[in-house]
Amino acid sequence: MKNPQRMAEIIKGVAKFKWPERLEVVKALPVTPTGKVQRSILRERLQQRLGIRTSQ
């Protein structure tokens, strides 16, 4: 997240060791037909965005 003021609002009152390493904002979360968030797809998108290759 590039807005430090917004990030400060989000982490206000949270212990520093619990702060996220990074915060990615998306327009919509990919979900299954039953409404569960597809975390694997989010992970893949982030890896592609950061140019990280996996061993799979």
The count of domains in the chain is 1
Q: How many CB atoms lie within 10 A of CB 45?
A: 13
Domain presence at residue 54: yes
Domain presence at residue 15: no
Domain presence at residue 7: no
Domain presence at residue 18: no
Domain extent for 32: 24-56
| pLDDT at residue 14 in the model | 86
Radius of gyration of the chain (CA): 14
| pLDDT at residue 28 in the model | 94
Domain presence at residue 33: yes
Q: Report d(CA 9, CA 32) in Å as an integer.
A: 31
Domain presence at residue 46: yes
Domain presence at residue 8: no
**Global pTM?**
0.59
**Could you read off the pLDDT of 6-56 as tens digits, one per residue?**
878 878 888 889 887 887 888 999 999 999 999 999 999 989 988 887 765
